[in-house]
Structure 1
């Protein structure tokens, strides 16, 4: 009897073990598909608030995506590596080349249009998909290339800001910009929109990116404000400034001129929610005195249940205000992940990846926007939230003052 039972028991155990193995499918992951992030991280450099938030955003996306892949038993994963461009075009170009030479197929960033312009010739000669979360220069809106931007171009932001400023009762506008592609583009598009509404624009020649002494710039702004005030009267003239982290120094120089402290000031997206302004009491006081506000791409109320938890997770790690640009970096990595999935983990065919990326970006619109991509690969539309500065106790903070569609 024992001779019969023992083989039967062994056979039963073997069968159960086989069934167990079938139920618990073992997935062997291939090497991770690498994605490079090019962000400005050094707090001594420009626009580091966005860079720091973007780094955390893509790190969180990496965790979420790999859980998504694992839950679906997909045989690949994604790995993000971030380097610090310091918002410097030459550094961004060098880091792009290093990433390309290491076999990277996807890059998120860089942040600024000046950096993106520097890497565009390299990208055009490479089989690399580049997704910037915050470049806006209209000059970089080129159909058919491998560069995509998960934000509206400067024409859309400029039209919104120009219209808003005119609707505030301003008839004469002095426009000022840092000399880089994105900020000059905003200066031009704001001026064009304001002029189209019937206002008069007097543009200051863009100042160099490395400017630290704003004496000459302030003198030019002052002269132009005086001229427009003569033409349009007190209270009807304002200044629009498209800038980055140099804003506090420019503001402090302007604060010494009573005529410039007496007019309204408005800004571009490069300073909105930026911690450098709230960290400088004198500059923040000038912003409050002049009613200064600046736009950030609006976050749709309909998607708040999606973007708010991610924004909270980012802020918990950085202690910085989180805007749509940082959340667009999170969306960019997800669009890349969906592209990888749609191609079954094969990233060898660049043309197929480009086509697939557009399809996935438009199908899975993400948490930061409902907008699809236009023919140039940029977000086709967008509204804007305007942020000003207030003082609560001894603390300066950004707060929402209005929206472009109101």
Structure 2
């Protein structure tokens, strides 16, 4: 009897082993969902582009771990392209991504680039999330463009109020000739005027072949005019630019009437390494108390965004701002959206609806992602950063917050 039972027991054990192995080697088929990042890596405003790229790479890593733990049927596959902050380059890279079947784009970072890709996105059902475009002219309800930062109306209101509160009653505003910076010039000027100040808006300078000496002559003349009526120490300058603004700084540093008054900037230069590498520019920024706003990071979420910021700096050597971290949040919102479709991208109307719903209920590392009727971040405060000298080098440091 025992001899008969032994083979039976052995066969039963083998069957159990085979069944166990089958369970342990179960393969979950995971399909890639492609997401294209469009950032300025080697061109103007590259500090943000480089940190945004790192933010997406880290988000991809974190999201795919999360999806694997849930045995999801899809995973995220990120590709990054360099727009150099050039509108036509951004458009061509967008078309290439669209032709490869990409349905999700994060970026581009400037409003001028975003305006160029918007018609393509709307025509071909591609969902675009810019982490840093602010132009009010792109606040359009129902389109396929979303922005995970506040528009220029919110930033301009904060900047204009802060400048007036610091004692200036006259303000000369200058801007690069693109949608985002002109929007900041207009909204900051409007907010300053609403507080009781007087604004002189210099005509925007062209993106290429700018005659900076001519621009500087106009600034100098308007500063002199306003100083006559407002008094010494009551006139300031607001510059909405990208890295090319350092050319104006270089010229202004040699002008006694311009290097002894307050200067302020828009978000296009905040934390830019370009302002740190030229001692003349850095010293001018320090002497004039120059600072610029970045979309603010909430203190209540410091335990979430501070470790991520450290990971990004470890990859890039650059301190990221909230705009770069917003790119991280954008990819997570896309991932949550795709969970609602099991990774399918065929029903674009459903994807848009789910994306808005996810954004409106999600709190990312940058805070609540809730969107307004135009698909832009509904609320936001701003951190102000200035430049200080640390030994023989220069660095950006937090100098204040908007109210």
Tell me the TM-score range normalised by the shorter chain.
over 0.9
Supply the distance in 2 between the matched residues of 1:321 and 1:219 (Cα, whole angstroms): 35
* 1:39 corresponding residue in structure 2: 39
SS at 1:260's partner residue? coil
Task: Check the 8 A contact 1:47/1:87 in 2, yes or no.
Answer: yes
- Deviations 1:103-147 (Å, cap 9, x if unpaired)? 001000000000000111111101110000000000001111111
Q: Pick one of 139, 151, 155 that aligns with 1:157.
A: 155
What secondary structure sits across from 1:135 in the alignment?
coil
Cα distance between partner residues in 2 of 1:211 and 1:195: 31
Figure out how many residues of one structure are paired with residues of the other and give that number: 402
Question: Secondary structure of 2:101's match?
Answer: coil
CA deviation map 1:208-228 (0-9, x unaligned): 112454100000000000010
Mapped partners of 1:358, 1:317: distance in 2: 31
Which residue of structure 1 aligns with residue 321 of structure 2?
Answer: 323
Q: How far does the alpha carbon of each residue in 1:333-363 deviate from its partner, in whole angstroms, 9 at most, with x for none?
A: 1111111111111111100000000111122
* Distance of 1:252 and 1:56 partners within structure 2: 31
Q: Are 2:384 and 1:386 aligned?
A: yes
Offset at residue 69 of structure 1 (A): 0.6
2:286 is aligned to 288
SS of 1:6's partner is helix
Give the CA deviation at 1:11: 1.7
CA contact under 8 A between 1:38 and 1:110: conserved in structure 2? yes
3-state secondary structure, aligned to 1:114:
helix
Look up the match of 2:16: 15
What is the SS of the residue equivalent to 1:259?
coil
- Does the aligned pair in 2 maintain the 1:93–1:118 contact within 8 Å? yes
- Decide whether the 8 Å contact of 1:361 with 1:373 is kept in 2: yes
Deviation at 1:17, TM superposition (A): 3.3
Deviations 1:23-66 (A, max 9, x none): x3723333311100000001xx2000000001111000001011
Q: TM-score, normalised by structure 2?
A: 0.98
Tell whether the 8 Å contact from 2:266 to 2:292 is kept in structure 1 after alignment.
yes
Deviation beyond 6 Å, 4+ runs, structure 1: none
1:12 Cα deviation after fit: 2.6
1:193-342 correspondence runs (5 A): 193-342=191-340
CA distance in 2, matches of 1:50, 1:213: 26
Q: Would you say 1:96 and 2:97 are equivalent positions?
A: no
Alpha-carbon contact 1:177-1:241 (below 8 Å) kept? yes
* CA RMSD across the alignment: 1.1
3-state SS of paired residue (1:188): helix
Could you list the runs of 5+ residues in structure 1 that have no partner in the other structure?
A: none
- 1:358–1:181 distance in 2 versus 1, CA, 3 Å: same
Any stretches of 5+ residues in structure 2 without a counterpart?
none
> Is the 8 Å Cα contact of residues 362 and 368 (structure 2) preserved in structure 1?
no
Which of residues 329, 349, 355 is equivalent to 1:351? 349
Q: Which residue of 2 aligns with 1:77?
A: 75
Are the counterparts in 1 of residues 30 and 72 from structure 2 also a CA contact under 8 Å?
no
CA deviation map 1:141-175 (0-9, x unaligned): 11111110000000000000000000001000000
Alpha-carbon distance in 2 for matches of 1:365, 1:376: 19
8 Å Cα contact 2:54/2:312 also seen in 1: yes
Match of 2:303, SS state, is: helix
TM-score by length of 1: 0.97
